[in-house]
Chains A and B, each alone.
Chain A
Amino acid sequence: SQKIEQNSEALNIQEGKTATLTCNYTNYSPAYLQWYRQDPGRGPVFLLLIRENEKEKRKERLKVTFDTTLKQSLFHITASQPADSATYLCALSNTDKLIFGTGTRLQVFP
């Protein structure tokens, strides 16, 4: 069956460092991949979309890579700030619906 894996352990990093989150998938060939941010008690907020024919996408301090051979996406936040603390979800699709991973909690401390 299709499976999306994100590190369930929280990622703790110091302010100013680069945070790197991983999303791995199996038994799936997504046409595109998305990353979302979710704060406690709120709905997910869309951050970035990357298509299968794209290797990298950037938006301000965010960078996403997509390796369809490794079946992996990496999500980077450079110059991280305490305000970046949240849970980050990856989601994949090759149809008209998204399948989500369980998310990785990021904690940025001063």
Chain B
Amino acid sequence: DAGITQSPRHKVTETGTPVTLRCHQTENHRYMYWYRQDPGHGLRLIHYSYGVKDTDKGEVSDGYSVSRSKTEDFLLTLESATSSQTSVYFCAISADVGGDGYTFGSGTRLTVV
């Protein structure tokens, strides 16, 4: 998607290893979000950021941490990956609250074996 890229697109990792997913935007948007999408659960918010170094938890934040040291980058880290974290992870950006909708990245498919 224009203005937002996620890396890697696919990753297979072993249980217990740390994993970092990257979201990069070129839109200079204030808000950035990490969601996971699983069958039957839809999109669930993990963490979000409302500015550089300003982050907050979502509904499924256990086992995840985030960092935002620059406006354009928002990192999601699984400190010690578990099989329950196998999912598709989406990053999203928005300029403000209640204005235009979110722009989503193409997703990262993570498999924990």
Contacts and interface: CB of A to CB of B under 8 A. Distances in A.
B54 to A, nearest CB: 11
B42 A96 contact: no
Contacts of B48: 96-97
B45 A51 contact: no
B98 A51 contact: yes
A43 B1 CA distance: 8
A43 B107 contact: yes
B44 to A, nearest CB: 8
A108 interface: no
B64 interface: no
Contacts of A41: 107
A79 interface: no
Interface in A23-69: 31-32, 34, 36, 41-47, 49, 51
B58 A43 contact: no
Given A31-B98, A100-B43, 6 more contacts: A46-B101, A49-B99, A89-B43, A91-B43, A93-B97, A96-B48
Interface of A: 31-32, 34, 36, 41-47, 49, 51, 89, 91, 93, 95-103
Interface of B: 1, 31, 33, 35, 40-45, 48, 50, 58-59, 90, 92, 97-107
22 contacts: A36-B101, A36-B102, A41-B107, A43-B1, A43-B105, A43-B106, A44-B90, A45-B104, A49-B101, A93-B98, A95-B97, A96-B48, A96-B97, A97-B33, A97-B58, A98-B33, A98-B102, A99-B45, A100-B42, A100-B43, A101-B42, A102-B40
